[in-house]
Amino acid sequence: MERRASVPGDAARRAASRAAELLAADRRVRLVYVFGSAADPARSAVGDVDLAVLADPPLSLDELGRRQADLAEATGAPIDLVSLNDAPIVLAHEVVEGGRCLFARDDDIETEFVTRTRTRYWDFAPYRETQWRLAGERQAERSRGS
């Protein structure tokens, strides 16, 4: 298993702020969040800087990959860039609840995104619970069968 280099927490947070500034220069970018370990001020080191971006129109996969590489080069930190436009609801919820908004084109965009994400997350809670229960049952059956 490949092991990632560790980035000091304060350097990761500076890299996240710089990356958000660079992303915000694109008028299509509406929101930029830092999430994961880099969003935790108590962390003294992180493996990478997780950033999430909402854009209108959305960034293509190719563009997202290029931006990720450009941001890593510009900040000197490993960057993991994801699109919130098509992120699974569980990831979007993790970004909203555990992350920190570094850039919002305006307050209404952030409020709308947070509200929509929370609503969708809780609307689908019964389905997630059913999926987890069924997955647990299948795992238990496999364990008994081996």
Q: Where are the domains of the chain?
A: 7-145
Distance of alpha carbon 132 from alpha carbon 135, whole angstroms: 5
Confidence tier at 136 by pLDDT (50, 70, 90) = confident
Mean pLDDT, range 25-52, rounded to an integer: 95
Q: Is 41 helix (H, G, I), strand (E, B) or coil?
A: coil
Tokens of 41: 């001020």
The model's confidence at residue 2, banded by pLDDT at 50, 70 and 90, is low
**Tens digit of pLDDT for each residue in 70-116?**
999 999 999 999 999 999 999 999 999 999 999 999 999 999 999 99
Q: Which fold has domain 7-145?
A: Beta Polymerase; domain 2 (3.30.460)
pLDDT at residue 5, rounded to an integer: 59
pLDDT of residue 146: 59
Alpha-carbon distance 146 to 142, whole Å?
6
Residue-by-residue DSSP string for 52-80: EEEESSPPPHHHHHHHHHHHHHHHSS-EE
Helix (H) and strand (E) counts for the chain? Answer: 5, 6
Q: Tell me, what's the pLDDT at 1?
A: 46
